[in-house]
Amino acid sequence: MTAVRTSAETTAGTAVLRLGTRASVLARTQSQTVADAITAATGTPVELVHITTEGDRSQAAIAQLGGTGVFVTALRDALLAGEIDLAVHSYKDLPTAPAPGLILAAVPPREDPRDALVARDGLTLGELPAGSTVGTGAPRRVAQLRALGLGLEVVPIRGNVDTRLGRVAGSATGPGDLDAVVLARAGLSRLGRLDVITETLDPLQVLPAPAQGALAVECRTSDARTRELLGRLEDSRTRACALAERTTLATLEAGCSAPVAAYAEVAEGEHGPELFLRASVTAIDGSDGVRGSLSGALDQASALGRALAEDLLDRGAVELMAVTG
């Protein structure tokens, strides 16, 4: 674990919060957004502390690195060691099991959770010719894209946003080697790159990952001051949606490298706001899949996620997750 401060060491007694972040442009952008929100809401200054994780050091596929938690462990270790006061994660990267000594102190308002296509010549997914190469780092996307039956060649890729986009647009050293890539729209939005999107994918085509587009802000359970400050960033509807989605994932006993999708929305029901939850499990080769949906009260988010996952399990989800290809 490597920690690098982005500002001068603070003097003793200064109530500056130290926010741990991965050093990637997207992670730093997300973390700075949270830092600015904390300062705006509480008047408390925040400094970023860069933490290098195993996922940042390796170019291996996420599944080969152990899947869930590969970008999280070093940040959590720094929190528990008292080197930082809080950490910002992409919520979908967190393991579903709680971390002893840490608490999810805030879930800020969510960005658009849908997936986005960036294709050559401004093409949409349906306009890509059969045989076109489409890159993505998520088995969930691989499985669902193959299941569409469009004849696309879906290939695994790694790298930051600019690296992935460059594989379509090309660079000074040569043309791109892919016809398209699929990324989270939320990341492109936070980086101010929505202009590169050629199609935002309808969840009916490609259902998002559990908690995609949401951020998770963690601190030590024992740190009452930081917990109180972070609580001012909380968005209860976003937390309820993410909780329903991630409970589905946990009940399926799957991680972020599994071909599992879940997406909850808040809608007005007969008796006030309610959650509408959709989820799917798709064989990685796209040969088969199961989908389902349920709705219920916001305060029943966990029960809703468990019930939908159990329905998918009854319909063969475990066998589908075991398919390789």
Token pair of 34, please? 């949270």
- The alpha-carbon radius of gyration of the chain (Å, integer) is 20
- For 102, the enclosing helix (H) or strand (E) is strand 102-106
- For 142, the enclosing helix (H) or strand (E) is helix 139-147
Catalytic residue among 36, 56, 85, 93: 93
Q: Is 288 a catalytic residue?
A: no
Q: What is the DSSP string of 196-216?
A: G-SEEPPTTTSPPPTTTT-EE
Question: What is the C-alpha separation between 129 and 114, in angstroms, rounded?
Answer: 23
Question: How many CB atoms sit inside 10 A of residue 192's CB?
Answer: 8
CA distance readout (Å), 102 to 2, 220, 228, 265: 20, 4, 14, 27
CA dihedral 208, 249, 69, 37 (to 10 degrees): 60
DSSP 8-state code for residue 9: P
Question: Which are the catalytic amino acids?
Answer: 93
